[in-house]
Amino acid sequence: MNISEIPYKIYLEEDEIPKTWYNVRADMKEKPAPLIHPGTKEPLTFEEMQPIFCDELIKQELDDTTRDIPIPEEIQSFYRMYRPSPLIHAEFLERYLDTPAKIFYKFEGSNTSGSHKLNSAIAQAYYAKKQGLKGVTTETGAGQWGTALSMASAFFGIDCKVFMVKVSYEQKPFRREVMRTYGAEVTASPSMDTEVGKRINEENPGTTGSLGCAISEAVEVATKTEGYRYVLGSVLNQVLLHQSVIGIETKTACEKYGIKPDIIIGCAGGGSNLGGLISPFMGEKLRGEADYRLIAVEPASCPSFTRGKFAYDFADLGMVCPMAKMYTLGHGFIPSANHAGGLRYHGMSPVLSQLYHDGLIEAVAVEQTSVFEALTQFARAEGILPAPESGHAIRTAIDEALKCKETGEEKVIIFGLTGTGYFDMKAYEQYNDGKMSDHIPTDEELDKGLSGIPEI
Amino acid sequence: MNISEIPYKIYLEEDEIPKTWYNVRADMKEKPAPLIHPGTKEPLTFEEMQPIFCDELIKQELDDTTRDIPIPEEIQSFYRMYRPSPLIHAEFLERYLDTPAKIFYKFEGSNTSGSHKLNSAIAQAYYAKKQGLKGVTTETGAGQWGTALSMASAFFGIDCKVFMVKVSYEQKPFRREVMRTYGAEVTASPSMDTEVGKRINEENPGTTGSLGCAISEAVEVATKTEGYRYVLGSVLNQVLLHQSVIGIETKTACEKYGIKPDIIIGCAGGGSNLGGLISPFMGEKLRGEADYRLIAVEPASCPSFTRGKFAYDFADLGMVCPMAKMYTLGHGFIPSANHAGGLRYHGMSPVLSQLYHDGLIEAVAVEQTSVFEALTQFARAEGILPAPESGHAIRTAIDEALKCKETGEEKVIIFGLTGTGYFDMKAYEQYNDGKMSDHIPTDEELDKGLSGIPEI
């Protein structure tokens, strides 16, 4: 098929929404290392995880052999509300860049939560409901995950308690209000409602919070409240599993229209979007059926892949969570205050960490002013106002397309456009006013976090 | 076709995007009254309108006989970025209401401007560019129109100056920032940059502005600046013409899936969304081919149809614009300060005014707390967070669906979901906090505006 015959927006049919999730671990020869107990340093058992997580989600977390896992009917029904998401041929951006490259993006931002996070939120809320639970707790930073979980919880009629990183809570009152509109209870973190919150507040007076800290609070409330469990929007194996719907749809659309990607790009904070987008392509690569360049893009101010250490570390600042083997900047790492948007987690998905360690994916770090330059170019050319997080993938997609302009190569580039930026206009304002700055941590700054990674 | 076989979201194909606009005036026996010159009281000629409007748009404004007007290729190309918009079967809302009614909504909010306004903005920017103009001026209240025009102007590379009602400018800094991201220049109105702005500021110290006032300023700048014209996002015949894409797509989707609407509902401020949605259905009605109940829903705090007067009035507060025959509350009318969102214009589209006068459409007025109740129910059931404006249509759709529940009738209800509420969270917050109030103007309050309508 000639590229000009491909529609601008490729919408699949309703019956092409995936009916199974794809579990990339089944195809990995080197499996991601298991979560371990911080005390015993032994792999966590199903029973040990039960106080924290829903039963069915623990099964998914531990299952590294089943390749295709059926998506329950109720979740499929919810997916129909906003899926299939379109794969868009960025012809206006190509024209603007004057590149021979063919650029496509999978747009996950057209649902109300504004991002791909809803794909896993609805699954986690469903399993909580099915287990007869009363509610779930979680943390949110930029607010996308909290919004997604609020929507999902409202849909299944369960309670939702969100610990929102204090700086976001204050700077993004409208994000908070969306969550409240969906019935969630939103608390600024660190709060004085939890033991760990009190401790962190005492040890760090005036702290504006961090994801690692909010996680500690949410876990504490979940384990201490009857009928509650904790849910997490990224990093975990189960989350990457749910997010595989992004990649499966992308692959289906590619096959339907004869698009053969050379490069697939995604932004990476905890890794849920990137992991979901590349999973089925990675599967082909692992099985030796095809090859792709798969690129993780992270902020230069929070460079887990490119400057972190592959080691067991705590998932949270309060050290109440299990430990995961991952690329990490140390559980005490907090990105500099001028960092805009999400992608601020100190660690990275164990699945992606293993794949990166094995040389199966590449990683680059980009600076935020160059990200906002790309965001603005993209917005004006393609008409969509992206989230800052998504801008990292756009930046690298544009860089690769400009390389093609130099070499004359017609490479096919696909990137993940994870979400919209409607709640990030403060950062856009800074950029529009020429007041945005970059921060690349010095080696000394990074050492503070890295030196806190425990020796195991 | 059985209703269960209809997909949840009906997406048309790219080649089903309309290639012509439908001009409902061609089928009206009683044509809408022409715009007149405020001095001579004579119908405005093409030449008299030239200093204000683009030439091609004047032709469209005056043309009440050509039924189908071709959509230029460049506009069709832009429409592909976000059209066709989906017609969604509100099955989750039906289940929540437990109604036998079948509810569908045409969702125009998934583009970055967040509303249907882009349909006309792109057309108006295109004709300005084609005429070789340097830029356009406009006003914006809630901000949807200004955002749409900023996007459209960025796409065609022309300047865009937006006068934003001062209260919105201050309460919605993020809306303003979206416009700036698309390169627009945004000024709070009334400003001290124009003669009319200065006059209004002097006569009304501390005024927070109004649409009618911002229009006056935008028109002044357009007529005094070389290479500029004024563009308007609602009310005018040309705008309803462009917005007919909403109705044409809706009708195509209905025909494709055998959906026969009984009732079609839209919110009405200046009338662009309602006019666009109902146009092709109205055409059938005017030609005696089919019958539908067509309902305009307006805020009880700004009730142009239900409590206004059908008369010639000024389109703007400053009385620098042409006069239109329309349902009006008087050009001096300003809705009470507690009114949330758009739909705050004192007048109404002359086309819709004539149709309402001739008994071809119905109108209801609803109060805003009941609108926000409907918005919240809808958001939780259907997963989309709507704009307050759209909530008016939702309110009436729910009311009609609940009547069906009483009578057991399986009526088919279609309503227009014009946009998303991401920039209206202040109003949602008021509602969530139980602090939202209603204001139904007393007859005495309305008389102040009505008595200012000139005798012609």
- A339 and A437 housed in the same domain: yes
Q: Please give the Cα distance from B276 to B240 (Å, whole number).
A: 5
Q: What is the nearest CA distance from A88 to chain B, expressed in angstroms?
A: 9
Among A230, A257, A283, the domain boundary falls at: A230
Q: The CATH number of the domain where B162 resides is what?
A: 3.40.50.1100
**Could you tell me if residue B432 is inside a domain?**
yes
Contact by Cβ (8 Å): A14, B7: yes
**Mind listing the pLDDT tens digit for each residue in B42-63?**
999 999 999 999 999 999 999 9
* A425/B177 touch (CB, cutoff 8 Å), yes or no: yes
End-to-end, the C-alpha distance of chain A in Å comes to 54
**Could you tell me if residue B455 is inside a domain?**
no
- B193 and B266 housed in the same domain: no
- A184 and A327 housed in the same domain: no
pLDDT at residue B12 in the model: 94
Q: What is the nearest CA distance from B237 to chain A, expressed in angstroms?
A: 26
* B180/A422 touch (CB, cutoff 8 Å), yes or no: no
Contact by Cβ (8 Å): A383, B81: yes
Q: Please give the Cα distance from A161 to B417 (Å, whole number).
A: 30
Among A179, A204, A230, the domain boundary falls at: A230
Q: Please give the Cα distance from A363 to A300 (Å, whole number).
A: 11
How much is the ipTM here?
0.94
Q: Please give the Cα distance from A124 to A136 (Å, whole number).
A: 9
Among A205, A230, A255, the domain boundary falls at: A230
**Could you tell me if residue B278 is inside a domain?**
yes
> Which residues in chain A are contacts of B383 at CB distance < 8 A?
78, 81-82, 111-112, 151, 155
DSSP A99: -
**Could you tell me if residue B456 is inside a domain?**
no
> Which residues in chain A are contacts of B385 at CB distance < 8 A?
112, 178, 181
pLDDT at residue B3 in the model: 78
CA A97 to chain centroid, in Å, comes to 28
* B428/A379 touch (CB, cutoff 8 Å), yes or no: no
Give all strands (DSSP E) within A146-201, no chain letters. 159-165, 185-189
Mean pLDDT value of segment B152-176: 94
Least confident residue range of A148-157, B198-207, B331-340: B331-340
More confident residue, A396 or B317: A396
This prediction's pTM: 0.95
Give DSSP secondary structure letters for A33-55.
Answer: PPPB-TTT-SBPPHHHHTTTS-H
**Mind listing the pLDDT tens digit for each residue in B438-455?**
999 999 999 999 999 999
CB pairs under 8 A between A and B: 107
Q: What is the nearest CA distance from A181 to chain B, expressed in angstroms?
A: 7
Q: Give the C-alpha distances (Å, rounded to integers) separating B401 from B292, B372, B395, B408, B409.
A: 16, 17, 10, 10, 9
* A380/B155 touch (CB, cutoff 8 Å), yes or no: yes
Give the burial class of A258: count Cβ atoms within 10 A of its Cβ; 0-12 exposed, 13-18 middle, 19 or more buried.
exposed
**Could you tell me if residue A275 is inside a domain?**
yes
- B373 and B256 housed in the same domain: yes
- A216 and A313 housed in the same domain: no
**Mind listing the pLDDT tens digit for each residue in B328-378?**
999 989 888 888 888 889 999 999 999 999 999 999 999 999 999 999 999
- A139 and A97 housed in the same domain: no
Chain A residues with CB within 8 Å of chain B CB: 7-9, 11, 13-14, 78, 80-82, 92, 110-112, 114, 151, 154-155, 173-174, 177-178, 180-183, 376, 379-380, 382-385, 420, 422-423, 425-426, 428-429, 432
Report the domain count for chain A: 2
Give DSSP secondary structure letters for B418-448.
Answer: -BB-TT-HHHHHHHHTT--------HHHHHH
Q: Can the peptide bond before residue B84 be classed as cis, meaning omega within 30 degrees of 0? A: yes
Q: What is the nearest CA distance from A28 to chain B, expressed in angstroms?
A: 36
At A107, is the pLDDT very low, low, confident or very high (cuts 50, 70, 90)? very high
- B151 and B289 housed in the same domain: no
* A380/B183 touch (CB, cutoff 8 Å), yes or no: yes
**Could you tell me if residue A75 is inside a domain?**
no
- B278 and B386 housed in the same domain: yes
**What single-letter amino acid sits at A80?**
R
Contact by Cβ (8 Å): A122, A155: yes
End-to-end, the C-alpha distance of chain B in Å comes to 54
Which range marks the domain in which residue B60 is found?
20-70+117-230
pLDDT at residue B1 in the model: 62
Beta bridge partners of A365: A298
Q: Is the pLDDT of residue A114 over 80?
A: yes
